[in-house]
Amino acid sequence: MSTTLLIGILLAIAAVAYTLGRMRANAVAGGKSSALHSRPNYYGAYVALAAFLPPLIVVAAWLAISPFIVNSSVRDTFPDEVKAQSPAQQSLAFGMVATIARGLPKLTEEELRAIQQDPSTLQAVFATKGVAVAAEARPYMLESAATLNGMTRTSRLALAAVAIGLSLAGAFFSLRSVAPRFRARNKVERVILWALLLASSIAILTTIGIVASMATEALHFFTMVPAHEFFFGTVWDPRFAGAGATSSGQFGLIPLLAGTLYIGFVAMLVAVPVGLFAAIYMAEYATPRMRSLAKPLLEVLAGIPTIVYGFFALVTVGPFLRDLSAQLNGLATGNYANFIQAQSVITAGIVMGIMLIPYVSSLSDDIITAVPRALRDGSLGLGATRSETIKRVILPAALPGIVGALLMTASRAIGETMIVVLAAGVAARMQINPFEPMTTVTVKIVNQLTGDLEFTSPQTLVAFALGITLFCITLALNIYALYIVRKYREQYE
């Protein structure tokens, strides 16, 4: 019996249990639902949960544990000579057994008999059935495969019996406990509470898992390359892994970090004034009609995938800036040579800035509108103009919040990948000319992890070190931003 079918049966039992629970609740109430502690629906839900949740947990646990038990018992059936081999070879043998086990049910009686007599034909016969076996099979493997299939079948049947039995028992006992004073609502809500808790803990656990996996790989890297060479190195020159080179190259973080911060800075230079002015217009001047029209349009920008911005930078902004610089240079000196490269800090910065505008404007707009109306009225009542009110009262009051919003935006700029991959170039250089290409941490992560890789060389593992560095920077920025925003909120409460 497949797991899907089993879950389906459990659900069906739960559905029946729900109806029965409701009916019984109505019956014990004698038609007066006010006599019940909870609404009949809650009794139904309680019975359904009792019929569904315990078997579900058993199914999950069984599916997680039973393969280990089955595997170890199958390995016990291996001949002693195989058991004496190294663990890796044993695993290989077990892998073949598992493959054969998958193919066995597809064979006819005759084919099976033929193979049992001559196991060397197994590979060819299986291939006709669409099951690829890696090497020539040995006689004991057929027996082991049969054992494996038998045990799996038994395990599934036992699981189905246990789960359905548990489900029916749960439904039966919970139905019996339905009584007017029984607090079904509280119990059901308790289960919902646990479900909510589970959902939020999944998000947190995932974060911890991500950090842990990055940290372990980064630690590997730091055993090969000293941490100070990575964090304070000024040259980024990872040689190709295994190219016969004696040295493994240099992994200096500084040029990448400089590029990241420089491009982020240019982006913020574009996004902050434009976004902030847009937010002020939206919050203070726009009529409700205008606001309802313009705000969603502005936020469309936020919905464009960043790779599309990358195209935009690559095929439009970059060439435009290059040609523009050539024309300007020609007009000024007569020499039509471009001084802005198509891939440059300024191209990536401008396009990333455009991407960030909606974040800045949307976050700032929320913060500006959160400034109490009383402050606005107070200033206007003293004879200040709208503009004076904004400059002297609203922006100062909203400033901490806006700073928080800008920090959050900055952390997005630092973590942004696709735009810089396409628009900034890959040259890891330390320079200050915004018209030349530079590269960022994210670009190098992409580069180091693209292609055929071995996960033991520093050339690959450096990506994890870069990743965790980036993660720490953006995390710190976000935490600081949240701290500022929270502090600011308290002012008005």
Partner 1 sequence: MTEAATEEALEKKMNTVPLKMVGKDVSVYYGDKRALYDVNLNVRENTVTALIGPSGCGKSTFLRTLNRMNDTIDGCRVTGLITLDGGDIYDPAIDVVELRARVGMVFQKPNPFPKSIYENVSYGPRIHGLARTKAELDQVVEQSLQRAGLWNEVKDRLHESGTGLSGGQQQRLCIARAVAVSPEVILMDEPCSALDPIATAKVEELIHELRANFTIVIVTHSMQQAARVSQRTAMFHLGNLVEENDTDKMFTNPDDQRTQDYIMGRFG
Q: Which residues sit at the interface with partner 1, rule CB under 8 A? A: 287-288, 372, 374-385, 388, 392-393, 396-397, 491
Tell me the C-alpha distance between 204 and 59, whole Å. 25
* Least separation in angstroms between CB 392 and partner 1: 7
Instruction: Return the number of the residue (64 or 374) whose C-beta is nearest partner 1.
Output: 374
First to last CA, the chain: 60
Instruction: Return the number of the residue (82 or 370) whose C-beta is nearest partner 1.
Output: 370
Q: 10 Å Cβ neighbour count for 97?
A: 26
* Least separation in angstroms between CB 362 and partner 1: 22
Instruction: Return the number of the residue (383 or 451) whose C-beta is nearest partner 1.
Output: 383
Please check whether residue 251 is in contact with residue 236, taking contact to mean a CB–CB distance below 8 angstroms. yes
Q: 10 Å Cβ neighbour count for 119?
A: 16
* Least separation in angstroms between CB 368 and partner 1: 14
Q: Say how many CA atoms lie within 13 Å of 13 toward its Cβ.
A: 26
* Least separation in angstroms between CB 367 and partner 1: 14
With a CB cutoff of 8 Å and minimum separation 6, the contacts of 148 are 70, 74, 97, 98, 101
With a CB cutoff of 8 Å and minimum separation 6, the contacts of 179 are 28
Tell me the C-alpha distance between 166 and 163, whole Å. 5
* Least separation in angstroms between CB 481 and partner 1: 20
Instruction: Return the number of the residue (181 or 289) whose C-beta is nearest partner 1.
Output: 289
Instruction: Return the number of the residue (145 or 394) whose C-beta is nearest partner 1.
Output: 394
Helices (H), 225-253: 227-232
Please check whether residue 233 is in contact with residue 254, taking contact to mean a CB–CB distance below 8 angstroms. yes
Instruction: Return the number of the residue (32 or 373) whose C-beta is nearest partner 1.
Output: 373
DSSP code per residue over 167-187? HHHHHHHHHHH--TT--HHHH
Tell me the C-alpha distance between 268 and 410, whole Å. 7
Cβ-based burial of 90 (10 A; exposed 0-12, middle 13-18, buried ≥19): middle
* Least separation in angstroms between CB 390 and partner 1: 12
Instruction: Return the number of the residue (178 or 368) whose C-beta is nearest partner 1.
Output: 368
* Least separation in angstroms between CB 355 and partner 1: 33
Instruction: Return the number of the residue (342 or 368) whose C-beta is nearest partner 1.
Output: 368
Instruction: Return the number of the residue (86 or 287) whose C-beta is nearest partner 1.
Output: 287
Q: In residues, how long is the chain?
A: 493
Q: Say how many CA atoms lie within 13 Å of 144 toward its Cβ.
A: 25
* Least separation in angstroms between CB 489 and partner 1: 13
Helices (H), 304-381: 306-311, 318-333, 345-370, 373-381
* Least separation in angstroms between CB 482 and partner 1: 20
Cβ-based burial of 92 (10 A; exposed 0-12, middle 13-18, buried ≥19): middle
* Least separation in angstroms between CB 364 and partner 1: 17
Tell me the C-alpha distance between 29 and 179, whole Å. 8
* Least separation in angstroms between CB 291 and partner 1: 11
* Least separation in angstroms between CB 403 and partner 1: 15
Instruction: Return the number of the residue (216 or 387) whose C-beta is nearest partner 1.
Output: 387
Tell me the C-alpha distance between 41 and 22, whole Å. 6
Q: Say how many CA atoms lie within 13 Å of 65 toward its Cβ.
A: 7
Please check whether residue 284 is in contact with residue 373, taking contact to mean a CB–CB distance below 8 angstroms. no
* Least separation in angstroms between CB 285 and partner 1: 12
Instruction: Return the number of the residue (145 or 397) whose C-beta is nearest partner 1.
Output: 397
- Both tokens of residue 98? 């598992």
Tell me the C-alpha distance between 467 and 484, whole Å. 26
Tell me the C-alpha distance between 354 and 358, whole Å. 8
With a CB cutoff of 8 Å and minimum separation 6, the contacts of 35 are 29, 180
Instruction: Return the number of the residue (246 or 287) whose C-beta is nearest partner 1.
Output: 287
Instruction: Return the number of the residue (181 or 373) whose C-beta is nearest partner 1.
Output: 373
